Amino acid sequence: MISVASWNINSVRLRMPIVARFLTEEAPDVLCLQEIKTVEETFPFEAFNALGYTHHAVHGQKGYHGVATVSRIPLKEYSRHDWQDNGEARHVGVELTEQGKGTVIENVYVPAGGDIPDREQNVKFGQKLDFLARMTDWAGKIEAPTLIVGDFNIAPLPSDVWGHKQLLKVVSHTPLEVQVLQKFKDAHGFIDIGREHIRDPERYFSWWSYRSKDWRVNDRGRRLDHMWASPDLAAKSTGHRVLEDCRDWEKPSDHVPLITEFDL
């Protein structure tokens, strides 16, 4: 059995205490972090090593974005893509080298896309769409059994958001983004593991804005984080959980971790 977690941590240095708590309590084999907001030189390697997570692939950037995959089972860095073609650190891929040998885990942080869902008025929205288009070209050429996880910054289903009608013109849930994400999915035949285990139309959120008070009461969440797998790999997924309680931990991220277990 191998378990893989994904968590947009919104500064790994600030939140190392809750990361340590998560690794101690849940002990996933692999943890994919997004928005680490640091370069490799100041990544807290020692803290991860002390917890038994001695294998790392870090693609960092000063102040913004950045992704890291840490593991207690052996892996090697496999790829780094710049799907936005602007030098931002939003992807790192690893390949498992012993247990689960040959399995590729791609860790991605899709651009949020700004506030206005129109590429003419908002450069960031165009960059988000272009990022996804390049990711789609790449997905069509995948050969290894692949798990792609991370903050996709799109909530595709009506049951992935607190209010479908209210959010149709809000970046992350527009029909155009949903369509572009679907093309990416179809390019490789990815399976949405989260929704294999928590079926539509059951409520499934992974992010609650810091700006919304009483997140548990108002529950204005969205499912921005995903774990998608090649069909053969998805068939080996035996469990999937959303750790909503982490949203209430001290100095929380606005995202919560997802964990999938595989019979590998």
Partner DNA sequence: ATGGTGGGTAGCCCA
Catalytic annotation, residues: 109, 151
Quick one: 241 exposed, middle or buried, by C-beta within 10 A (0-12, 13-18, 19+)? middle
Name 246's Cβ contacts closer than 8 Å, sequence gap at least 6.
7, 18, 22, 252, 253, 256, 257
Q: Is 44 in the site for DNA (CB under 7 A)?
A: no
Site string for DNA, 93-112 (x = CB under 7 A): ------------------xx
Which is closer to DNA, CB of 139 or CB of 167? 167
Dihedral sign for Cα 161, 121, 175, 190, please: negative
- Distance separating alpha carbons of residues 149 and 128, to the nearest angstrom: 17
What Rg value do the Cα atoms of the chain yield, rounded?
17
Q: Is 118 in the site for DNA (CB under 7 A)?
A: no
Q: Is 141 in the site for DNA (CB under 7 A)?
A: no
Q: Which of 19, 23, 37, 59 binds DNA (CB under 7 A)?
A: 37
The 10 Å Cβ neighbour count of residue 256 is: 23
Q: Is 251 in the site for DNA (CB under 7 A)?
A: yes
Q: 18 with 33: CB under 8 angstroms?
A: no
Site string for DNA, 151-190 (x = CB under 7 A): --x-------------------------------------
Q: Which of 17, 49, 52, 63 binds DNA (CB under 7 A)?
A: 63
Q: Tell me which residues touch DNA (CB under 7 A).
A: 10-11, 13-14, 35, 37-38, 62-65, 111-112, 114, 124, 153, 209-211, 251
